[in-house]
Homo-oligomer: A and B are copies of this chain.
């Protein structure tokens, strides 16, 4: 059987050509180009296209150099509200710019991340957007640098969102949000309400984002001449369960504090529930703040005071800067600002 319409695959341009009684080139020209085609021919071709319900194979077009460009978004887990927000921004901007959007969840597995990136290089994606914090180790830098070079050599571009930059010269676009500054402002706000002992529910100790927020926490204290009690610095991860667990620990250890600052809103949500379970009132008995300003923050009770991070805008920005450039462009580093949004979860002491 030699390429009859018997098989389950769609019809080819040659099928259309045969049916319209023209050559494949003509069909291509009718469908694609500026090339002059007589009205009669055009009509016949279009009818054949309609009758066969023909759509040109995008992969073949891509090989020929005229395909729909694609871009990849690699993240840990789309389920996290802030990641979802970013994904939304990425996806919107990508389709606005005529790109398709591949998404890959690494589930936090470095090897899987590497595999995805290699696959994306094979797919010849216009850009690979990598999001989600990691440890900023030398090993991370060389590994990521190598990836960036590979992609650049293939005409693609690596974008790092909320990840540590790689140092000068790497063909990479880095977009960060100001973790330290945001945390500083937030904690300063808490301290300004008169709180002296504020519990910090942090992330993984080596996680760059977590570190930034922790630095802000410390800096805000020192700016007021306070030295925070190391006992009040707890480490976990950025999940709701981590917040819940840490809060219970703090309570059972009978740590003294009048306010809690969580490294993310998810952590804050878990902590809030733990506080409620312990019969404590927020902010009556203890004040609470989060970080990220995920949509749900305002529906917690009390509505959560937090730091707004423009995640969706971040996603849009990532694709815009990634696509509006040549592969040889120099490295680029954007730092997005954040601001505190005051709600009802903090009170004066």
Contact = CB atoms under 8 A, between A and B. Distances in A.
A79 B85 contact: yes
A56 B122 CA distance: 6
A326 B122 CA distance: 28
A287 to B, nearest CB: 15
A88 B105 contact: yes
A149 to B, nearest CB: 8
Contact of A101 (B55, B59, B103, B276): B103
Contacts of A155: 8-10
Nearest to A53: B150
A154 interface: yes
Contacts of A135: none
Interface residues of A, number: 58
A272 interface: yes
How many copies of this chain does the complex contain? 2
A240 B91 CA distance: 22
A68 interface: yes
A58 B123 contact: yes
A78 B91 contact: yes
Contacts of A301: 272-273, 276, 300-301
Interface in A310-349: 326-328
Interface in A44-88: 53, 55-60, 62-63, 67-68, 77-79, 81, 84-85, 87-88
A124 B57 contact: yes
Contacts of A84: 78-79, 81, 84
Nearest to A149: B53
A19 interface: no
Contact of A273 (B55, B91, B303, B327): B303
Contacts of A87: 78, 103
Contacts of A21: none
11 contacts: A53-B150, A57-B122, A57-B124, A59-B59, A63-B63, A68-B122, A79-B295, A95-B105, A101-B102, A240-B295, A272-B301
Interface of A: 8-10, 53, 55-60, 62-63, 67-68, 77-79, 81, 84-85, 87-88, 91-92, 95, 100-105, 107, 118-119, 121-124, 150, 153-155, 240, 269-270, 272-273, 276, 295-296, 298-301, 303, 326-328
Q: What 3 pairs across the A-B complex have the smallest Cβ distances? A: A10-B154, A269-B299, A58-B122
